[in-house]
Amino acid sequence: MADAVDVSFGRLDAPAFSRIDARGTFEEVVNGGRWESLAVGRMQSGAVMGHHYHAYTVVCLWLIEGRARVVTEDVGTRERHECEIAAGQGYIFRPSEARTITYLESSRFVLLKSHRFDPSAPDLIAYPLT
Three-class HEC string of 13-61:
CCCCEEEEECCEEEEECCCCCCCCEEEEEEECCCCEEEEEEECCCCEEE
Identify the structural domains of the chain with CATH numbers, from first to last: 10-117 (2.60.120.10)
**Contact at 8 Å (CB) between 54 and 114?**
no
pLDDT surpassing 70 at residue 3: no
Per-residue model confidence as pLDDT tens digits over 78-121? 999 999 999 999 999 999 999 999 999 999 999 999 999 888 98
Please tell me the distance from the alpha carbon of residue 3 to that of residue 34, in angstroms, as a whole number.
9
Please tell me the distance from the alpha carbon of residue 5 to that of residue 17, in angstroms, as a whole number.
18
Inter-CA distances, 100 with 6, 46, 51, 82, Å: 23, 12, 5, 10
Q: Residue 110 carries which side chain, given as an amino acid letter?
A: V
Please tell me the pTM assigned to this model.
0.87
Per-residue model confidence as pLDDT tens digits over 18-70? 899 999 888 888 888 889 999 999 999 999 999 999 999 999 999 999 999 99
Please tell me the distance from the alpha carbon of residue 128 to that of residue 20, in angstroms, as a whole number.
41
